[in-house]
Structure 1
Amino acid sequence: MFEVRVTADFAAAHFLRDYNGKCENLHGHNYKVYAHVKGPKLNEGGMLLDFSKLKAALREVCKQLDHTNLNDLAVFDQNPSAERIAMYIYDGIIALLKKEGIDLSYSAGKTEPALYCVDVFETETSRARYRVDE
C-alpha cells in the first residue's frame, strides 16, 4: 500500500458549546491540516497521485475557514470541534476533486487512490482525525 500526505494551515477562532472549561470562551488556533491518500498501485508515472491536485484542494478548503469565527458557519451547528473541522475538510476535498474528475472517495477494496483521513492539529500536541477506512 502506498500513501501520500499534503499539509496546509489556517488561522481561525471558535468556542465550544456544551463544554465546561476554558475552551467554552472565544479563542483562536493556528490549525495545521494533513490530508492522507492511500492506494495499492502507482500510475504510469510511478506516482500514487499528483501532489499538486491534492494540495490545491486542501488549500482551497482551508482558505474558506481562514480568519473566520468557525461558530458563524452553519455547517458546524455552533460547535466547531476539531473532529467536525476534520470531517468538513475531508468532505470539501472530495467535492472539489470530483469537480475535476478525480474520485478520491473511499470504498473497501478500491484499487484507485482514496482520501482515507484528514488530521487537524489545534496545537502541536492536540490532533483530531477523521478517518473513513475502518
Structure 2
Amino acid sequence: MYSVRVEADFAAAHFLSHYHGKCENLHGHNYRVRAWARGESLSDGGMLLDFGVLKKCLREACAGLDHTNLNDKGIFANDPSAERIAKYIFDQTKALLPPEAAGLLHAVDVYETPTSMARYKPDK
C-alpha cells in the first residue's frame, strides 16, 4: 500500500456553542491540515497521485475558511469542532479532485495546535 500526504494551513476564529469551558468563547487558531491519499497501484510514471494535484485541491478546500469566523458557516451547525472541520475539508477536497483520483483520498487531519489533532476518515 502506498501513501502520500500534503499540507495546507489557514487561520480562522470560532467558538463552540455546546461546550462549557474556555472554548465557548470566541478564539482563533492557525490550523494545519494534512490530506492523505492511499492506494495499491502506481501510475506509469511511478506515482500514486501527483503531489501538486492533491495540494491544489486541499488548498482550495481550505481557502474558503481562511480568515473567517467558522461559526458563520452553516455547515458547522454553530459548533465548528476540529472533527467537523476535518470532514468538511475531506468532502471539499474529494469533490475537487479529478474523478480518477477522488477514490484515493484516505483521510484528512486538522491540527488546532501542534499537539491537538482530529482526523476524518470515512468507512469504505
Scaled to the shorter chain, the TM-score interval is over 0.9
Partner of 2:121: 131
> Structure 2: 5+ residue runs without aligned partners?
none
Contact 1:14/1:71 (<8 A) preserved? yes
Q: Equivalents in 2 of 1:102, 1:67: separation in Å? A: 32
Q: TM-score, normalised by structure 2?
A: 0.96
For these two proteins, the number of residue pairs brought into alignment is 124
Q: How many angstroms does 1:18 deviate by? A: 1.1
Q: TM-score, normalised by structure 1?
A: 0.89
Partner of 1:79: 79
Q: Equivalents in 1 of 2:38, 2:101: separation in Å? A: 13
Q: Equivalents in 1 of 2:92, 2:84: separation in Å? A: 12
Q: Equivalents in 2 of 1:67, 1:20: separation in Å? A: 25
Cα deviation per residue 1:31-57 (whole Å; 9 max; x = unaligned)? 000000000111100000011110000
> Structure 1: 5+ residue runs without aligned partners?
106-113
Contact 1:10/1:30 (<8 A) preserved? yes
Q: How many angstroms does 1:103 deviate by? A: 4.0
Cα deviation per residue 1:109-128 (whole Å; 9 max; x = unaligned)? xxxxx111000000000000
- The percentage of aligned residue pairs carrying the same residue is 61
Partner of 1:59: 59
